[in-house]
Amino acid sequence: MKAARPLPDHAVRHYVDTLATDTAALRAIFAFYRALDTTIAQNQQRTTRRLALPVLTIAGAAS
């Protein structure tokens, strides 16, 4: 998947440098992917009932 607007090089460098030097950050980003199967199952289960609270959504042309 490609981003709507690529990140500037300095932002990519900062992100990569942080992951390369901080094991907690690296562990956290991998935890997101390790949890995907569980998250997908939870989201499918959540589609069976309506939310019990009001929700406001705002979206732009590129969202």
For tokens 């289960």, the residue is 45
Q: What is the pLDDT of residue 4?
A: 77
Q: What is the pLDDT of residue 21?
A: 93
Q: What is the pLDDT of residue 28?
A: 93
DSSP assignment letter at 62: T
Q: What is the pLDDT of residue 1?
A: 58
pTM of the model: 0.53
Domain map (residue ranges) of the chain: 9-46
- List of the chain residues with pLDDT < 70: 1-3
Cβ(25)–Cβ(19) below 8 Å = yes
- pLDDT tens, 23-37? 999 999 999 999 999
Closest CA to 6 of 30, 21, 15: 15
